[in-house]
Structure 1
Amino acid sequence: MDDPMTPWVHYWEKCVGSGHALLGLRSDWQRHLKIVRDELGFEYVRFHGILNDDLSVLQVINGEPYYSYYNIDSIYDYLQSIGMKPVVELSFMPQDIAMDPTKTVFHYKGITSPPKDWTAWTGLVKSFVSHLIDRYGLAEVSTWYFEVWNEPNCGFWSGTYQQYFYLLQITEQVIHSISPSLKVGGPASCQSGLINETMAYINNGTFKLDFISTHLYPTDFTPLKVDVMKQVVSSVRSIVGDMPLLYTEYNDGLYGNPPLHDTPFASAFIFKNLVDVEGLVEMFSWWTFTDIFEEGGQDHVLFNKTTGWGLLALYDIPKPSFRAFQLLHQTGQHRVAGTVPPDFYPTAGAMATSNQTHLTILAWNHQVPGEPIGTESLSVSVSGYPISFSLPASIRRIDDQNGNPYGLWLKMGAPQYPTAQQIEALMGASELQSGSIPYTFIEGNMNFQFDLPPQGVASIVVSLPLQ
């Protein structure tokens, strides 16, 4: 795999996504966020609609703007209380300054219109950012990210691209006029789009961005390809050069029938793709951390809904995707040498990490829907550890039989409103079970052999002797 001292940076923990800002006032949303902060290590959270009318941010009264940040403060105060920070997506347009307030998206009616008066927009941004600095301090707010809008190329902006780039220009200018230490970026595009156009504006001096942000889902392109995330991210990296590259949305895909995000498919996708894009991005933000999510209204169905992209289901139940991030969170800070012959395993792979106390091997067996995949019998060899095979090794799995509450829910008859006893059983089914795994130690190599079913993952942990 790699040199024993190659860093293994937990870049995927930088940020996680959510629905819209108003949800941040709900106790269940807050509880879920604290769980993923404490157990998965996420540092930032991003959501839509911080300027939405449902937060009462701006009203025009007698021709004058009246700003109110109480609801926003309540949300950001909570983030601060649990040691998290926001990626501040500057959206959507308040009704009283929108050119066309009938242009909306989602159940919560986020307005996608340009402003009818551009100075009204810059006045709002200046007031908002200045308020944040007054409340939290410039040093703190300078660690946040201000992302201008959301997906202007995918139905979230009813104006022209020229108008969007003007919005980006004047927003960057007003924020940097407050302090050049503040971080501003965009285009927050879908499908890794508008990158060339954004870089052209940067290169001709129209605006100065501190980062490039965009989104990517494996279903953005057809036919489906198992390596599409690495291919697209690598291409975007070559365009933006050394600029910080933030993927502020991704997940295992916007599959509709059947949705796969509740299944072990998502955990196998996570393992493979987080290894694939390592070193290419500064941020890779999973969409979303919770099924407390109202783009189409709050759905009561526990699993198997097309909008259930959360790591946590309703009733606080961790999905296989949550468990995958939990296993990743427990990996070390360095990659270590090892071998997994790729020609032998067309759909499987593995890598190893270490810290002072543990060696961890991650393995996955992943393929896109509709392509051949079977159980793989893996042989994984790790070198560089002059120890005996008497040290204990354990294995934890996520697959159809392990860490899979969705499977139990189906066996229950897919209850729409599960009882307390059913919720307790589903929580139990989500737990990772640890078992011992033997290995051989020959000529300085630890050798493991184990099977991985389709869309399965495994984490093997070897306790190292104290140095």
Structure 2
Amino acid sequence: MSKEKRILVNQENEIPFHNGMDFCVGTGRMFLALHKEYYEQLKMVQEAIGFKYIRGHGLFFSDMSIVHTYKDELGRDAVEYNFTYLDRVIDSYLSLGIRPFLELTFMPEHMASSGETTTFEWKANITPPKNHKEWTDMVQATLRHLLEHYGREEVLKWPIEVWNEPNQEDFWKDADMQSYFKLYEHTALAIKEVDPDFIVGGPAISGQLDEIWMRAFLEFVRDKKLPLDFVSRHNYIPHPPDKVGRYSYVKLCDIDFWLEPLDKTKAIIESFPEFKGIDIHITEYSTSYLPNCTIHDTNLNAAYIAAVLSRLGDKHVSYSYWTFSDVFEEKGVPFTPFHGGFGMVANNCIPKPTFWTFAFYKKLQGKCVHRSEEAIIMQLPNENYRGVLWNIDFKYNGEIMELLLQLPVKYNEYCLITKTVDEECCNPLKLWHDMGEPANLSAEQTAILKEHAVPLIKSESIVPVNSITEIKVTLNPNAVIYFELNRVERKTDRGYSYERTLKGEL
């Protein structure tokens, strides 16, 4: 079963397209950055994609060892700070050309109003502080250290987000709106007291009662005249997953339906004259909100995210995929290399299909001359073309898509290069399954999975007819294909014949 579509590109078109996919990417809690595997995966991601910022949880969790209490010489309670691990993490980030997008979480136990309300396998405290001054003292001490250690010019480029998903009971005790607003007020004012040029925002909400929360938050900030440099929220597939054993299974929704909460948020923000035009950061998004959801490892995920990336920039400054890596422990240490983890890279540094969606989009520079539900095409200043094509097979009915691209050109010869990621040529999940789903890969198994987990590259020499290049591309179910059409200025060496070489002529 197949469908055909013709795409005629008009190079006079200039379609609005903001490609903010590389602004930020998500990660597990900050401490994990000290793992060797984590660093290797981030290095791999940065070399192939190159994100500008990275955002994760747990800046103030106990494993970062930032805040400590002790008795002074008079027996009084005292506090001291230790930034050894924080500096190691940030040093590793900066060495890879990526900056922190600071999320202020979670509550240190001695500051927490309740020691029994926690989240994740690693027991992060999600309660308000007993004393807001203790909390803001710690926030200010951390920021002053960063300013001193890394320099004001650098650190003021790091956005600061106050908490994570306070509208969810899993991340803020009772999802209490007023207690979060109080935390935001004290924190935002304390941040600006350290330096008024810090970039601070929130509320980083997701799903539940999101419209009510967003409107109430903006009213609170407006009425209190509080600092707010950006607005943030999250977005995931809303359908509840089916859980079996350690795994979750989710049904994808239509892209328009997935975008609907974000469109509503944008409309709410624009309805406030004080916040009209403010930067909106989607600081988390994915196809599922669970780190054991099998969809994340599939080619379907890669094709779906390709479609999402073609549209997310219309109303948002940035959108941060959750996450770059499967070094992640919210539900404990994973048992197998493919376990439905959030990451675009599986453990053992095996790129998943979604990794390549981001690598392909990174190359989309220039003027957008076509955008549709299956393609986005850019023309570079030198009149070469770049594009990403996809075929989402929601229902797994095996439908193949045939695209005929007609591109206006000026020159006599072009080289077409395609990079294909689909269920046949770049599907490490299937290869791992066929191997018997080994929990602990041997060196040989890891090597062959890495060899398979790369795009299929093809090339073709094209001579245009009547200043039009026609390209026929076949997309298998859940394929993502990147193409380049580059002008060729052939410079054949004296005596060399490619044709004779292939024919083996004397």
Calculate the aligned-residue CA RMSD, in Å: 2.3
Q: How does 1:305-316 map to 2 (within 5 A)?
A: 305-306=339-340, 308-316=341-349
Q: Distance in 2 between matches of 1:411 and 1:135?
A: 50
Q: Does 1:72 align with 2:94?
A: no
2:30 aligned residue (21, 26, 40): 21
Please, what TM-score do these two structures have when normalized by structure 2?
A: 0.84
Q: 2:380 aligns with which of 346, 355, 362?
A: 355
8 Å Cα contact 2:50-2:97 kept in structure 1: no
- Aligned 8 A contact 2:41 2:325 in 1: yes
TM-score normalised according to structure 1 size? 0.91
**Which piece of structure 1 moves more, 3-12 or 319-328?**
3-12
Q: 1:264 to 1:439 in 2, by over 3 A?
A: farther
Shift of 1:232: 2.7
> Aligned residue for 1:451?
474
Match of residue 21 from structure 2: 12
Matched position secondary structure for 2:445: helix
Gaps of 5+ in 1: 341-347
CA contact (8 A) 1:381 1:445 kept: yes
Say which of 201, 204, 218 aligns to 2:220: 201
The partner residue of 2:184 within 149, 165, 168 is 168
2:326 is aligned to: 291
Corresponding residue for 1:333? 366
Quote the residue 2:433 is aligned against: 410
Partner residue in 1 for 2:98 = 84
Match in the other structure for 1:181: 197
Q: 1:101 aligns with which of 110, 115, 127?
A: 115
- Note if 1:156 corresponds to 2:171: yes
Matches for 1:371-382 after TM superposition, within 5 Å:
374-382=399-407
Q: Separation in 2 of the partners of 1:403 and 1:219?
A: 28
CA 1:433–1:96: 2 relative to 1, 3 Å: same
Q: Which residue of 2 aligns with 1:240?
A: 269
Equivalent residues, number: 453
Please identify the structure whose Cα radius of gyration is greater.
2
Match of residue 442 from structure 2: 419
Equivalent of 2:336 in 301, 304, 310: 301
Relative to 1, partners in 2 of residues 1:339 and 1:130: Cα closer, same or farther, differing over 3 Å?
closer
> Who is 1:364 aligned against?
390
Q: 1:324 matched to which residue of 2?
A: 357
8 Å contact kept, 2:236–2:287: yes
> 1: CA distance between counterparts of 2:259 and 2:464?
34
Distance apart, 1:339 and its partner CA: 7.9
Local SS of the residue matching 1:11:
coil
Residue identity over aligned pairs, in percent, reads 27
Listed one character per residue, the Cα deviations across residues 400-429 of structure 1 (whole Å, up to 9, x for unaligned) are 112211111111111111211111110010
Query: Which of 284, 293, 300 is matched with 1:249 structurally?
Result: 284
For 2:138 and 2:278, locate their aligned partners in 1 and report how far apart those are by CA, in whole Å: 28
Whole-Å Cα distance in 2 between the matches of residues 367 and 173 of structure 1? 49
| C-alpha distance in 1 between matches for 2:363 and 2:410 | 23
Superposition pairs of residues 17-56 of structure 1, within 5 angstroms: 17-56=26-65
Q: 1:81-114 deviations in whole A, cap 9, x for unaligned?
A: 2221101100000011111021111111110011
Aligned twin of 2:486: 463
Which secondary structure does the structure 1 equivalent of 2:348 belong to? helix
Q: 2:142 is matched by which residue type in structure 1?
A: F
Q: CA deviation at 1:312?
A: 0.9
Assess, with a 3 A threshold, how the Cα gap between structure 1 residues 438 and 198 changes in structure 2: closer, same or farther.
farther
Q: Write the distance in 1 (CA, Å) between the matches of 2:110 and 2:98.
A: 31
| Deviation digits for residues 59-86 of structure 1 (CA, Å, limit 9, x no counterpart) | 2223122211111111111112222110
Q: Are the counterparts in 2 of residues 440 and 447 from structure 1 also a CA contact under 8 Å? A: no
The answer (yes or no) to whether the contact 2:61–2:107 under 8 Å persists in 1 is yes
Which is further off, 436-445 or 283-292? 436-445
Provide, for residues 371-410 of structure 1, a one-character-per-residue CA deviation record: whole Å limited to 9, x for no partner.
8672222222333x3234x311122211111221111111
Paired AA for residue 193 in structure 2: S
**Separation in 2 of the partners of 1:366 and 1:64?**
58
Q: In the TM superposition, what is the alpha-carbon distance from 1:223 to its structure 2 partner?
A: 8.6
Shift of 1:17: 0.5
Structure 2: 5+ residue runs without aligned partners?
1-8, 72-76, 241-250, 271-276, 490-506
Query: Which one-letter code corresponds to 1:253 in the other structure?
Result: S
Q: Which residue of 2 aligns with 1:225?
A: 254
Range that drifts further, 429-438 or 95-104: 429-438
Change (3 A) 1:33 1:386: same
- Shift, 1:234, TM fit: 2.4
Deviations 1:17-55 (A, max 9, x none): 011011011121112112111211111111100000111
**1:214 counterpart = 2:233:** yes
Q: Which residue of 1 aligns with 2:134?
A: 120
